Amino acid sequence: MDEAGRGPLAGPVVAAAVILKRNHGIENLRDSKTVGPGERESLCRMIRKQARAFSVTFVYPEEIDDLNILNAALLAMKKAVIRLKSHAPVIVDGNRRIPGIPHAQFPVVKGDDRSATVAAASILAKVARDRYMIGMHRKYPQYGFHEHKGYPTKAHLERIRAHGPCAIHRKTFQGVIA
């Protein structure tokens, strides 16, 4: 179990849950932040093909603003685990348990560096979120989402100042609000 998108000013937080086969044969599984976009896409295809099961869920900006980013990330993770329809124990990247699921849980700090399944979830979540933000670039080209994926880069902050926030901005986040 892992998520992507807690730090951006725009777009959803995305969670993924993965159950890998014991001998999945996928090499170079590691934290999505250490993998380039092309390799992430390739690994994503392999994970989807080789996994026993996986799910990817989104929690969108309105709900993030209502719940706060931590609770929204935990909700996305809960949805991803439930969607798997498995009773397997859950390795959660980080130091928190997911509230509201009956599964045995094992929070592991830097889990995406220590567990192939968490690394696989990290990659699925990151690829799904990046694809979503590239799609949003077509709808809101003035923000350059295809470049920064909603993260608070200098260019993104300048575009928010110039155009104001759009529908996918997190209205409660510093940088979106003045």
Alpha helices by DSSP H, listed for the chain, are: 37-50, 61-67, 69-84, 111-114, 116-139, 145-148, 154-163
Model confidence pLDDT, tens digit, residues 45-98: 999 999 999 999 999 999 999 999 999 999 999 999 999 999 999 999 999 999
Q: Which amino acid is at 74?
A: L
Distance of CA 13 to the CA centre of its chain: 5
Three-point CA angle 131, 18, 90, nearest 5°: 130
Whether 44 shows a pLDDT value over 90: the answer reads yes
Cβ(123)–Cβ(34) below 8 Å: no
**Which domains can be identified in the chain, with CATH numbers?**
2-129 (3.30.420.10)
| Tens-place pLDDT, residues 107-166 | 999 999 999 999 999 999 999 999 999 999 999 999 999 999 999 999 999 999 999 999
State the pLDDT confidence band at 31, using cuts at 50, 70 and 90. Answer: confident
Within 13 Å, how many C-alpha atoms sit on residue 154's CB side? 0
pLDDT computed for residue 32 by the predictor: 92
